[in-house]
Structure 1
Amino acid sequence: MHIEELRDYCISKAAVTEETPFGPDTLVFKLMGKVFLLVGLDQVDELRFNVKCDPEYAIELREKHEHTVIPGYHMNKKHWNTVYANRQLADKELYKLVDHSYALILASLPKALRDTIPAS
């Protein structure tokens, strides 16, 4: 997986915006203003990104894929993972982690906001 593929996947999701609120080197994807993925734009050799994760599932992933999934770098380590692409997980599995993060944010939105987002 390359950063362009990750970006294309994220922005293809309903109601997603991309921003650089932390400076020009970090691309942030949001759903209705809430962050679901962060990725450094300077990553050429080793792509990694941060995604939100259910706390129990986060622990399971870290134990099962210790060289690929680690506690979120500069994030709340209970709710965020840093995931390395092109290691133990196939792209299909990486996209599932992006989907999981997006779904957590979607579920956290008030119903009135959720109802305005087209089904993916």
Structure 2
Amino acid sequence: MQQLIYYCEEKQGAQRDYPFGPEPLVMKVAGKMFALISSDSISLKCNPEIAQNLREQHTVVKPGYHLNKMHWNTVTVDGTLSELELQAMIDHSYELVVASLTKLARAELTQA
């Protein structure tokens, strides 16, 4: 999991937060969540159509645990999916959140 945390932290403007206590670790950009990381899973925002396809293709991908099940997936990290596949899911989540930011917030992000 540590490698996934490092990957999330490398994203422009990414910040750690613990709004729910010691776990899960919440990764945010401009104050908005893009990843929730626990000891054995990661929850990521996802386009609803892609989310459904991923759930159908991989048994380790489930609707978001305690999240909007249409827009979030929770992925059990047990070696079933490669690190590259997980990184692609992180990238998608981050990009969706950044795209939802105001024009000003996106501009501030690129200047940081």
Matched with 1:92 is 84
Structure 2 residue aligned with 1:51, among 44, 53, 59?
Answer: 44
- Whether 1:27 aligns to 2:25 is yes
SS at 1:106 equivalent: helix
For 1:55, the aligned partner's letter is: P
Q: What RMSD over aligned residues (CA atoms) do the two structures have, in Å?
A: 1.3
Cα distance between partner residues in 1 of 2:76 and 2:100: 26
TM-score of the pair, normalised by structure 1: 0.88
Structure 2 runs not aligned, ≥5 long? none
SS at 1:24 equivalent: coil
Cα distance between partner residues in 2 of 1:61 and 1:25: 25
Cα distance between partner residues in 1 of 2:41 and 2:5: 12
SS at 2:19 equivalent: coil
- Whether 1:77 aligns to 2:69 is yes
Contact 1:26 1:39 in 2 (8 A): yes
Aligned pair count?
111
Structure (1/2) with the larger helix percentage: 2
Q: Give aligned-pair identity as a percent.
A: 44
The structural deviation recorded for 1:25 is: 1.9
TM-score of the pair, normalised by structure 2: 0.93
Structure 1 runs not aligned, ≥5 long? none
